[in-house]
Amino acid sequence: MTSRPTDFWQALETVPGTAAVVAEWMARFGSEYESARAFLRPNGKLASSHPCTVPRGCGCEHDVVVHDPEDIVAVCRCERGCEAFPLKRSDIVVYELDRAAFDAAVVKAFNLIKETDCGTDLHGTTRIGVYSPYAGFRFPVYLTIQLEPSDFDSAVDGLLGRIDTPLILLAPTRDLCTTQAERLLANRKSAFIPLSENVAIAENGKLRLLRPLDDILSQFRTANLPSPQDDSSMVFFPTPPDATWGDVSIQFTDGHTVSVKVKSVGGVFHYAQMGMANKKNSKPTVQWELLETFANEHGVLDWSSNKADRKNQKRREILATNLRDFFRIEGDPFRLTDDGKGWQALFLISPDE
């Protein structure tokens, strides 16, 4: 059972240092306290003040007076003069936002690639992970928690001054994001995502997106990801970010076309769409012909093949570059055969059946 977040996200931007006693957190989080408490931890400190809990009281902070470990009282310090009330030691333990646990929950909700070194020199700002929708595309994701618009502006200025690639910035709400900050991010093809509008907190302390991630990042994706091109140049193939050459399967359907699959993503492509058209006459390049040779030889090409040629060394190197450009998978897609006298494709390749 989940509820649309309200108090939880606002509290993160209104509690100084995101640290307070349980009574304060309960008042701030409201009905979401039981869910949100999973993200709180004691920081080893005792509070010197406590919220007023007197019925129809002043609502101000009361001074904590410790006479001895078993005699602790909260004393009103405003003109209204509410009655003092007793406290237990557990009532004045300070709980802070467990930033590591909270960041990890956000990473999981957004399906990000987690990073081990997430610290920054910017106050309240961590680099929580990487958004990688496809192989070859990696965008850093930051989470900032601030108290004032000026602090938020400083965080944005600091990030844009340090990072020269598009980034995604998360914050609990949009309340502190000024028009200037949002414009600066947009000018750098970066995105600001308020969590309060896109994420819900569940009773077990987990976070879930309120709509598909592609929808949340639709403008960012449009600005930073390529779209398919026409037959005259290489198209964009949406290779999964964790794919290796072993996940690639290529099957020729005819002399000009192949069926390609990488994990759950696939399609049928013409040689020109894979970047292997001769610029002078638009015919297939020798690299395409070599790829078809590998298909006919079931992935292994050595001197026993009637297509063996000393020129294949350079052609294979260029073919490897063509395939890396198309799939954006790192490393050489070919290896030497065990006897060192030929090459073997690291991907599955087969001829037209």
- Identify whether 238 is part of a domain: no
> pLDDT digit string (tens) for 117-131?
777 899 999 999 999
My answer on whether 261 and 342 are in the same domain is: yes
Q: Above pLDDT 70, what percent of the chain? A: 97
pLDDT of residue 4: 39
pTM (2 d.p.): 0.84
My answer on whether 87 and 105 are in the same domain is: no
- Identify whether 239 is part of a domain: no
> pLDDT digit string (tens) for 290-326?
999 999 999 999 988 888 888 889 999 999 999 999 9
Q: Could you tell me the two tokens for 191? A: 């995105």
My answer on whether 93 and 104 are in the same domain is: no
Whole-angstrom Cα distance, residue 109 to residue 83?
45
Structural contact between residues 198 and 210, judged by C-beta atoms closer than 8 angstroms: yes
Q: Above pLDDT 90, what percent of the chain? A: 77
My answer on whether 115 and 166 are in the same domain is: yes
Backbone angles phi, psi at 79, to 5 degrees: -65, -25
- Identify whether 44 is part of a domain: yes
My answer on whether 197 and 289 are in the same domain is: no
Average pLDDT for 63-86: 88
The residue with tokens 């802070």 is 96
- Comparing 109-118, 166-175, 290-299, the range with the smallest average pLDDT is 109-118
Whole-angstrom Cα distance, residue 208 to residue 32?
15
Q: Is it the case that residue 287 has pLDDT exceeding 50?
A: yes
My answer on whether 78 and 166 are in the same domain is: no
Query: Per-residue DSSP letters for 179-221?
Result: HHHHHHHHHTT-EEEEGGGTEEEETTS-EEESS-HHHHTHHHH
Whole-angstrom Cα distance, residue 75 to residue 57?
12
- Identify whether 230 is part of a domain: no
Range of the domain at 337: 245-350
Q: Is it the case that residue 1 has pLDDT exceeding 60?
A: no
For 115, how many CA atoms within 13 A lie in the half-sphere containing its CB? 16
